Amino acid sequence: MEQIKHAAIRTVDEYIITGKDHGRCIQKAVELGLATIGEGRIKQNMQGFVTDNYRFIGRKEALALGLKNGQIDKRMVSNDEAFSEMLWMEEIYYGKHHYDKRKGYFIP
């Protein structure tokens, strides 16, 4: 079954930047010169996730996928979008995944 592997953003130029969370993805895009903070080049609807099938999906589809495959704990869902913290932040979201730059989210 398809798995969420990375938080990701898609720039207006169609570059996809991955990382542990969306803040780090945005920071990386700025460092690479693909975005400027406050410029509006990375909009909310351009934040999502990349799956192990190398597919970029939005936050809503990621929530559905994460609930279906057990990556996201349904006790912590308060809206219709996934947040990367739902995968790795144990203290708040019962997240059980670790993160590796190459492997993405994984359960040790």
In this predicted structure, what is the pLDDT of residue 92?
A: 59
At 48 the pLDDT is 95
The residue to which tokens 């999906």 are assigned: 57
pLDDT score recorded for residue 80: 94
Element (H, E) at 26: helix 22-31
Q: Is 23 helix (H, G, I), strand (E, B) or coil?
A: helix
Q: How far apart are CA 30 and CA 66, in angstroms?
A: 28
Q: Record the pTM.
A: 0.83
Rounded distance between C-alpha atoms, residue 54 and residue 45, angstroms: 18
Per-residue pLDDT of the chain (108 residues; tens, 9 = 90+): 999 999 999 987 889 999 999 989 988 988 998 877 665 556 555 899 999 999 999 999 999 999 999 999 888 888 899 999 888 876 655 667 778 888 887 877
pLDDT at 41: 59
